[in-house]
Amino acid sequence: MYLGQCLCGTINLKISGAISDIIHCHCSLCRKNSGLAFATNGFINTADFEITSGEDFLITFAFKPGRSRHFCSKCGSPVFSSNEQDPTRLRLRLGIVDSDIIERPSSHNFVTSKANWEDLKVNLLEYDSFEPNRQ
């Protein structure tokens, strides 16, 4: 079981099943929607998904016919995406999950449209907090 919540904590969710088909997506739509170099997405079964509180604050943006993004109206956090062609599954941005995720990403997708400043092969310094010059 996985638990998660939006940034402001208004929308809380529970996933009672596995997360499948996890990928890092570099397409321009995922980059624009997340504001990041890539989005990490996974699929869950609709039957395994429950919004435990804050459902009244969930709003929807239909960016293509039959495809909708659902997010928190207070903080803007993406909660899930739905596709009318496959109502049995939802796509989840994994950053909303607070629990440790057992499953792992299998690939980087749409790398030909990745941000020009993103280098998938570079080794960067790692810190437990902010970098030293940013106290």
Q: What is the CATH number of the domain that holds 83?
A: 2.170.150.70
Other Cβ atoms less than 10 A from the Cβ of 81: the count is 21
In a domain, residue 121? The reply is: no
pLDDT at 135 over 70: no
In a domain, residue 128? The reply is: no
In a domain, residue 135? The reply is: no
| E-assigned strand segments in 18-100 | 20-25, 39-45, 49-53, 58-64, 67-72, 78-83, 89-93
Q: Which amino acid is at 7?
A: L
Q: What is the C-alpha R_g of the chain?
A: 16
* Strand partners for 20: 43
pLDDT at 127 over 90: no
Q: How many domains is the chain partitioned into structurally? A: 1
Rounded to 10 degrees, the C-alpha dihedral 109/104/22/106 comes to 40
In a domain, residue 40? The reply is: yes
List pLDDT tens digits, range 38-84.
Answer: 999 999 999 999 999 999 999 999 988 999 999 999 999 999 999 99
For 19, the domain range is 2-113
Full-model pTM: 0.87
In a domain, residue 127? The reply is: no
Q: Which amino acid is at 128?
A: D
